[in-house]
Structure 1
Amino acid sequence: MNTIKIIKSCVVLLVTTMTIVSCSDYLDVNTNPNNPAISTPRLTLPVAQRDLASLNARQMTYLGQFIAYNWATPSNWSTNQEFSRYTVNSGFYATIFETSYATIFKNLTYVQNYEDASGAVDYSAYKAMATTLRSFQYQYLVDLYGNVPYTEANKRSAIITPKYDDAKVIYKSVIDELTAAATLALNLPTNAENPGVQDIINGGDMVKWAKFANTIKLRMLVRLSNTNQDAYIKGEIAKIDANGAGYISADIVANPGYNNNTDKQNPFFDYFRKPTTGAEQDRGDFTVATDYVLNFLTTTNDLRRNRLYAPAQTGGAYKGVPQTTTLPGTGFTSKDVSKVGPGLIVSATGSQAIMTMPEALLLQAEAISRGYIAGGDAAAKSKYEAAITASFTRLQVPSAATAAATYYNQDIANVSWASSPNKIQAIITQKWVALNGTSSIELWIEKTRTGFPAGLPQPAEGGGTRPVRLLYPASEIARNALNVPAQTAQNAFTDNPFWK
């Protein structure tokens, strides 16, 4: 069980026969999988929060950016060839599955099940948070893998080879858990301990946790829009309305005390910049814009382009490249094209986004457009335009509100609400822009669900078919062979999620 030493507090740990008193910070982690008794929810929850933020900021966003055709590789690097060739196998991004179960779910389940033997402390607030975060990550595992271990997962030594549960059943169960988590967050026992700064996401604000749970639930319900379950979706949204918390009203972010030291930077920043010096990591040099995304942003007069991407070192133009392994050398090196921009690579100490306002507002716009939430076209338009403004603001576009209004009032389909005959296409296209570099795994999943953005290219070497899922990792096949579903490489391209 991972435990964590808390900022400005001293944690007493019993190790064999010696007592150790340590004062440190959130980012110093000890691992003791054989002795969970040394931990409590106060120590374990922030570790899970940190690990979830890191996994989503790094591997999941990077993967989403490439499958959504936002990022590419310049001609002077031979890395990332699996993206241009769609080499999706049991080793491809296995960290998503492995980290979810090995660390995130393990710690969150520990918090959910923890009972204070003395009865002196009520940990209901921690349990509401753990349930919300566990639901957040389980949704992604179902979206990306289909059937996964759920009811028998993380039982420690009691069940070391858990069965795989049906994806549809997991989804409904997770939605129920989010309903319960929001209700608990808003109705804590009077003696419940508030985690305060131990909660590195919302600082112990339980209304914010209820809003977060509601917004994750809305995302899942909208995901079900193709499954002919409108009555169920509306009924579940009615439950959200009944708890009264509404949806998130500010970005959901994590910050355990990120600083500029090794292994302690903001995880997205750390992916691209070195500790202390801020010099460019290799990934910062071999990750560049695609020609398609820059052309789209330029032709729609979108000032977010200059925040999402940087001008080329040579010549200062905004230039991208196609996703391919056969680029010519001249004019296509990392110095010749646009890299990830200043609106994304912001600060070593800045908070890490987990769910942002542009996404939350676009989810509401889609739910209204589909008739799941009342309000009609005017309300959907209002949410849509507010989402674009929130995106401009997040990226620190100068005079963000004015710039956003100038942008979305252009007579361009999928930019202006009035000029967009297909409102769902407009919403998902704007999500593709707004979540560029942030929660970008959504972009791949939404492309699978809706088919938008329309006309999104695919790498020529990719075989002509975009993948729709990940494959179970080799490590899981080795340790849980009797339960893991059979798969072939082709399943990554043909085995659509149940909600498709």
Structure 2
Amino acid sequence: MNTIKIIKSCVVLLFTTLITVSCNDYLDVNENPNDPSISTPKLTLPVAQRDLAALNARSMTYLGQYMAYNWATPSNWSANADFARYNVTSSFFTIVFENSYGTIFKNLTYVENYEDASGAVDYSAYKSIAKILKGFQYQYLVDLYGDVPYTEANQRSAIITPKYDDAQTIYKAVIADLTSAASTALNLPGNAENPGNQDIINKGDMVKWAKFANTIKLRMLVRLSNTNQDAYIKAQIALIDANGAGYITSDIAANPGYSDNTDKQSPFFGYFRSPSTGLQTDRGDYTVASDYTINWLTTTNDLRRNRLYAAAETGGAYKGAPQLTILAGTGFTSKDLSKVGPGLLVAVTQDQPIMIMPEALLLQAEAISRGYIAGGDAAAKAKYEEAIRASFASLQVPNAAVAAAAYYSQDISNVSWTGSPNKIQAIITQKWVALNGTSSIELWIEKTRTGFPANLPIPAEGGGTRPVRLLYPGSEISRNAQNVPPQTAQSAFTSNPFWK
């Protein structure tokens, strides 16, 4: 092993197996940053967690927000033209694929495979966490790309051109891994080392990790609702019930110690605000509300509007724009429109959500409504309304519980449970609101799966059809051409996920 020079407090260890691990000093993962002996799960896990949180906070949320028509671009900026034109190519959002394999999976696999040479330390807790996070991210790769490398992936120099596995096969393998990881988390050996603060998500609380694994698994099982596999889904939910951990009861979020310094801000916050000065970034200026979302929130008397979006700098109104590359007329500059709101941009040190309670509760409401979980309509209604209350509270709506109850008591379809003839439509519509700016990639995927929210606009320049997937990156096509499945420009619009 060679130790190379530390640059900006980032340590890079080169192993003969070509393992690469990097970290920032604010992660506090090096016992001696000037002379690291070897990378261990203690060093590697928080780096993988940080990178996963950042990818989902920024690129995947931004992509989801535009595909779900929650954000738009003002007339004084020429940014984001690919969104308004649905210009999905092999160079569009390649970071999702590349960062998943290039950094996140690489480090998580290292943690999974690590064995202490002395045999003195048991890393079962670390391995369980790594398996859960890999499952979380693999679900998204399958949802967004279809077939991807799995069984031969993450082998480093051993296999540099991995085969692509069948999407449904990967899904079921991940579900099995989540089942196993939850069991491990709940039944650790007595000598297992607890990650503690090196786990920047759950601080070593392994019951929380089991709950998270169960909730990811529920998300995937609900995703299969159109595939005529009800017996399989119910059997897998029975396994969730059997481990006894249940589902998450608080947000799953990362925070390694975010601070008001360059590259150390909470990643979503740092997308829109500059370090130290607090001034908005260019992205903060050219990211504004869509007209459709503002109108929907306004007409349904949803007080979350004022937390998801900020009042316009000019005039103080809540106003959105259509998704266009060039707006017709004048008066729709960034100062005239609502931008990302105070309920999302709370503080430079804010936790970075990975999965929030409203989603978990709405997943349970849907599973109950579909008969996968017992309870019937009353139980589904209770979860639905609890999810809305959790959303109001998370966004810090004043008098959140009272305001939420007043909101869902209105006799408005897709707001009131009893006033909604299609319960799945109501659930997904409320998810579209609750995950606005948080895990927003879910909104695009759920639109593909269910068709809801109904009547969600398509940009005039978008060709009349919303994309249903991403295309394999050009970089992957270049280095693994013999294995990448064939795709065309139209594949992004016609190659539905297997669960569709």
Distance across 2 between alignment mates of 1:156 and 1:75: 46
Matches within 5 A, 1:130-149: 130-149=130-149
The one-letter amino acid paired with 2:131 is T
Aligned to 2:304: 304
Matches within 5 A, 1:189-228: 189-228=189-228
Matches within 5 A, 1:2-81: 24-26=25-27, 38-81=38-81
Q: TM-score, normalised by structure 2?
A: 0.94
Distance across 1 between alignment mates of 2:24 and 2:415: 52
Distance across 2 between alignment mates of 1:12 and 1:81: 37
Distance across 2 between alignment mates of 1:149 and 1:159: 11
Aligned length: 484
Distance across 2 between alignment mates of 1:201 and 1:122: 20
Unaligned 5+ segments in structure 2 are 4-10, 17-22
Distance change (3 Å), C-alpha of 1:440 and 1:266: same
Aligned to 1:182: 182
The one-letter amino acid paired with 2:432 is W
Aligned to 2:124: 124
Distance across 2 between alignment mates of 1:443 and 1:270: 22
Distance across 1 between alignment mates of 2:399 and 2:54: 31
Deviation, structure 1 residue 25: 2.5
Matches within 5 A, 1:314-329: 314-328=314-328
Distance change (3 Å), C-alpha of 1:183 and 1:384: same
Aligned to 1:82: 82
* Contact 1:27–1:264 (8 Å) recurs in 2: no
Dislocated runs of 4+, deviation >4 Å = 11-16, 27-30
Name the SS of the counterpart of 2:335 in structure 1. Answer: coil
Q: Deviations over 1:367-400 (max 9, x none)?
A: 0000000000000000000000000000000000
Deviation, structure 1 residue 325: 1.5
Name the SS of the counterpart of 2:27 in structure 1. Answer: coil
Q: Deviations over 1:280-336 (max 9, x none)?
A: 000000000010000000000000000000111111111101001221352100000
* Contact 2:29–2:43 (8 Å) recurs in 1: no
Distance across 2 between alignment mates of 1:384 and 1:14: 50
1:257 aligns with 2:257: yes
Distance across 2 between alignment mates of 1:23 and 1:417: 47
Distance across 1 between alignment mates of 2:446 and 2:126: 31
Aligned to 1:491: 491
Aligned to 1:6: none
The one-letter amino acid paired with 1:58 is R
Distance change (3 Å), C-alpha of 1:245 and 1:15: closer
* Contact 1:142–1:148 (8 Å) recurs in 2: yes
* Contact 2:72–2:289 (8 Å) recurs in 1: yes
Distance change (3 Å), C-alpha of 1:14 and 1:320: closer
Distance change (3 Å), C-alpha of 1:41 and 1:314: same
Aligned to 1:229: 229
Aligned to 1:165: 165
Deviation, structure 1 residue 476: 0.3
1:455 aligns with 2:434: no
Aligned to 2:446: 446
The one-letter amino acid paired with 1:339 is K
Distance across 2 between alignment mates of 1:216 and 1:167: 17
1:380 aligns with 2:380: yes
* Contact 1:40–1:111 (8 Å) recurs in 2: yes
Distance across 1 between alignment mates of 2:213 and 2:225: 19
Distance across 2 between alignment mates of 1:330 and 1:29: 54
Aligned to 1:109: 109
Distance across 1 between alignment mates of 2:24 and 2:476: 37
Aligned to 1:366: 366
The one-letter amino acid paired with 2:90 is S
Name the SS of the counterpart of 2:326 in structure 1. Answer: coil
Aligned to 1:346: 346
1:279 aligns with 2:275: no
Distance across 2 between alignment mates of 1:499 and 1:60: 20
The one-letter amino acid paired with 2:420 is S
Aligned to 2:400: 400
The one-letter amino acid paired with 2:335 is K
Name the SS of the counterpart of 1:38 in structure 2. Answer: coil
Name the SS of the counterpart of 2:148 in structure 1. Answer: coil
Q: Deviations over 1:75-124 (max 9, x none)?
A: 00001000000000000000000000000000000000000010000000
Distance across 1 between alignment mates of 2:164 and 2:13: 36
Deviation, structure 1 residue 38: 1.9
Distance across 1 between alignment mates of 2:69 and 2:114: 43
Q: Deviations over 1:437-476 (max 9, x none)?
A: 0000000000000000000000010000000000000000
Distance across 1 between alignment mates of 2:82 and 2:258: 31
* Contact 2:27–2:46 (8 Å) recurs in 1: yes
The one-letter amino acid paired with 1:239 is L
* Contact 2:26–2:264 (8 Å) recurs in 1: no
Name the SS of the counterpart of 1:354 in structure 2. Answer: strand
Deviation, structure 1 residue 401: 0.3
The one-letter amino acid paired with 2:54 is S
Aligned to 2:8: none
Name the SS of the counterpart of 1:462 in structure 2. Answer: coil
1:422 aligns with 2:422: yes
Distance change (3 Å), C-alpha of 1:288 and 1:486: same
The one-letter amino acid paired with 2:355 is M
The one-letter amino acid paired with 1:165 is D
Name the SS of the counterpart of 2:214 in structure 1. Answer: helix
The one-letter amino acid paired with 1:26 is L
* Contact 1:27–1:257 (8 Å) recurs in 2: no
Distance across 2 between alignment mates of 1:54 and 1:329: 37
Deviation, structure 1 residue 24: 4.0
* Contact 1:14–1:38 (8 Å) recurs in 2: no
Distance change (3 Å), C-alpha of 1:473 and 1:29: farther
Distance change (3 Å), C-alpha of 1:15 and 1:174: closer
Q: TM-score, normalised by structure 1?
A: 0.94
Distance across 2 between alignment mates of 1:177 and 1:152: 16
Distance across 1 between alignment mates of 2:327 and 2:48: 41
Distance change (3 Å), C-alpha of 1:114 and 1:78: same
Matches within 5 A, 1:430-441: 430-441=430-441
Deviation, structure 1 residue 350: 1.1
